[in-house]
Chain A
Amino acid sequence: MNWLRVFFAGGVTSYRALFAWVNPWVFVPMLVAYPLFQTLFFAYLGRSAGVGAAFFLIGDSFVAAAITGLFGMGHSIGGERRFQTLPILLASPASRLALFLGRSMPTVVNGFVVAAIAFGLGAWLLGLRFQSGELAKLALALVVSCFACTALGLCIGALGLRGRSVSVFADFIGALMLIVSGANVPFDRLPHVVRTIASGVPLTHGIAAARKVVNGASVGSVGNLLGAELGIAAAYFTVGVLLLRVFERQARTSGSFERF
């Protein structure tokens, strides 16, 4: 019971603290306007390069979910340090799994909502239409990618126990994802080394699956891609939890929780 309380109460409080909510308008510029205009920017750039708008609509909606996962999850841990609540949090006997899983769930949901808004508004502005069946399959791929990106965000958040700013890591990785994941450049135009890196990065397989289902593929035919994305999510989540354990122990030894 206490595990569930830590999971839900911790998650909701952490999510609200993420934006220092006073009113929901704080949400709009960062999580509605930014991803929407990013989608439009690359869609128009792609139009001048002869690539269809749907390619970028899908790619950049997924990137929106990734940015939310990377920054959201990263800051939900890094923010504890900034607001000096990290020592209290880690001194508590609460289950670490409940603490960090609780913080990851709102980020997954948030990523999905942000991506869905960017996709919906982007499709409307770009004049693209999709069947409801395609949208359902697209949503499935998006959920899986949201998990994978939040898991990577957990690794970034763990770095927040060592470094002062998680934003540096989140921003750097988020920038690279624009290319590496294939969100904005067709894979056949990228160098081989980038494609190799892409195979181990969240989003890559999710975006590929999404593009296939929009072109009429069944869920079964993209099962291997979704499975790969889930595997990547599990791997990053495991690494994130391990990093948190190691860095927590090191920070306890060096007394660096309050160093900011």
Chain B
Amino acid sequence: MIRVFLSGLRIQVLQLLRSSFDVVAMFTWPLVYSSIAYYLLDAKESPRLLLSAALASAVMVMWSQVVVGSSGSFDLMRQNGTLELMVAAPVPLISILAPVMLTSAAFGLYGLVVTLAWGRLAFGIPLGIVHPLAAALSIPACIIAIGSLGLIVASTFVLYRAAFFLGIAMQYPVWIACGLLVPLSILPGWVGPISWVLAPTWGFRAIDRAVLGGDAWLPIGLCLVLSVAYGLVTVVLLRGFEYLARSRVTLRLA
């Protein structure tokens, strides 16, 4: 299982680095979102707000990379006829999916660096970190949590033949529900409880508080708790979805 996991990591990293779509998108979208936030919020006098918006943009791109990048990987596996072989392999399916998700989320680090560099160079946003240790831990915690949430989504990709379209569609709803760029306070009240069970909410709060000040340890802890919970849910879901996909013979459909 460990060998499968590590091989999966290596292959996914190679695929992402060779995908011009992913590399260009990772460079473009964080700049677009942070620029929109900058011009729209028009908060030149509040660098704190702008830095927070830049961090939110970075977390948004992390989630995008997980759902769009991984759904694209699934479509690629279907088109190349390798998804069937992956599912038929005598290892738990989660050990094949986990590297895809974690690599995609980690690739979001690139988005974080791009966003912060753009914010500093283009808009002069100061990049001070209040709690360096918490910041160093909050980023991997956020990556693991978002990657784990991606695992739940990926379990449906096994079933759905147009995974990429589903991945594209899942970006904005999660951004809204997690309060990324859009404050939860202006959303309908019922969105709040949904945000509590979504990893990007806590991932963003962890990074935001570590960088700007505040208690980052609680959100970091919640990221880890949610990651474990997502893993357990994924195991159960995958068992059901894998059975359905096998019985419907849809794994070959591209």
Contact B168 A185 (CB under 8 A): no
B109 within 8 A of A: no
B182 within 8 A of A: yes
Task: List A contacts of B169 (CB < 8 A).
Answer: 28-30, 33-34, 37
Given the known A-B contacts A44-B176, A47-B186, are A172 and B35 also in contact in the complex, defined by CB atoms under 8 Å?
no
A165 within 8 A of B: yes
Other-chain contact of B182, A44, A171, A175 (Cβ < 8 Å) = A44
Contact B168 A34 (CB under 8 A): yes
Contact A185 B39 (CB under 8 A): yes
Contact B186 A48 (CB under 8 A): yes
Q: Closest B residue to A31 by CB, please name it.
A: B165
Task: List B contacts of A19 (CB < 8 A).
Answer: 162, 165
**Cα of A37 to Cα of B171 in the assembled complex, Å:** 9
Q: Which residues 178-228 of B sit at the A interface, judged by CB distance below 8 A? A: 181-183, 186-187
Task: List B contacts of A128 (CB < 8 A).
Answer: none
Task: List A contacts of B182 (CB < 8 A).
Answer: 41, 44-45, 48
Number of A residues whose C-beta is below 8 Å from B? 35
A136 within 8 A of B: no
Other-chain contact of A20, B35, B162, B176, B181 (Cβ < 8 Å) = B162
Task: List A contacts of B253 (CB < 8 A).
Answer: 22
Contact A26 B165 (CB under 8 A): yes
Contact A171 B172 (CB under 8 A): no
Q: Which residues 152-166 of B sit at the A interface, judged by CB distance below 8 A? A: 161-162, 165-166
A190 within 8 A of B: yes
Given the known A-B contacts A41-B172, A49-B40, A189-B42, are A178 and B186 also in contact in the complex, defined by CB atoms under 8 Å?
no
B7 within 8 A of A: no
Contact B21 A171 (CB under 8 A): yes
Task: List B contacts of A20 (CB < 8 A).
Answer: 162, 254
**Cα of A37 to Cα of B162 in the assembled complex, Å:** 19
B32 within 8 A of A: yes
Task: List A contacts of B166 (CB < 8 A).
Answer: 29
**Cα of A28 to Cα of B165 in the assembled complex, Å:** 9
B17 within 8 A of A: no
**Cα of A49 to Cα of B176 in the assembled complex, Å:** 15
Q: How many inter-chain contacts with C-beta < 8 Å in the A-B complex?
A: 93
Q: Closest B residue to A167 by CB, please name it.
A: B21
Task: List A contacts of B46 (CB < 8 A).
Answer: none
B21 to chain A, nearest CB (A): 5
A179 within 8 A of B: yes
Q: Closest B residue to A41 by CB, please name it.
A: B172
Task: List B contacts of A33 (CB < 8 A).
Answer: 169, 173
Q: Which residues 139-196 of A sit at the B interface, judged by CB distance below 8 A? A: 164-165, 167-168, 171-172, 175-176, 178-179, 184-185, 189-190
Q: Mark A42-69, 1 if CB is under 8 A from B, else 0.
A: 1011111101000000000000000000
Contact A189 B172 (CB under 8 A): no
B36 within 8 A of A: yes
B204 to chain A, nearest CB (A): 15
Contact A40 B32 (CB under 8 A): no
B77 to chain A, nearest CB (A): 16
A38 within 8 A of B: yes
Task: List B contacts of A190 (CB < 8 A).
Answer: 39
Q: Which residues 192-242 of A sit at the B interface, judged by CB distance below 8 A? A: none
23 A-B interface contacts by CB (under 8 A): A22-B253, A26-B165, A29-B162, A29-B168, A29-B170, A30-B165, A30-B168, A33-B173, A34-B171, A41-B172, A45-B37, A48-B183, A49-B42, A168-B20, A171-B21, A171-B24, A172-B24, A172-B25, A172-B28, A175-B29, A179-B35, A179-B36, A189-B42
Instruction: Using CB atoms and an 8 Å cutoff, list the residues of chain A in contact with chain B.
Output: 19-20, 22, 26, 28-30, 33-34, 37-38, 40-42, 44-49, 51, 164-165, 167-168, 171-172, 175-176, 178-179, 184-185, 189-190
Q: Which 9 A-B pairs have the closest CB atoms?
A: A37-B172, A29-B169, A30-B165, A33-B169, A44-B182, A185-B39, A29-B165, A189-B39, A26-B162
Given A29-B169, A41-B181, A48-B41, 5 extra CB contacts under 8 A? A29-B165, A37-B172, A41-B182, A44-B186, A45-B181
Instruction: Using CB atoms and an 8 Å cutoff, list the residues of chain B in contact with chain A.
Output: 20-21, 24-25, 28-29, 32, 35-37, 39-42, 161-162, 165-166, 168-173, 175-176, 181-183, 186-187, 253-254
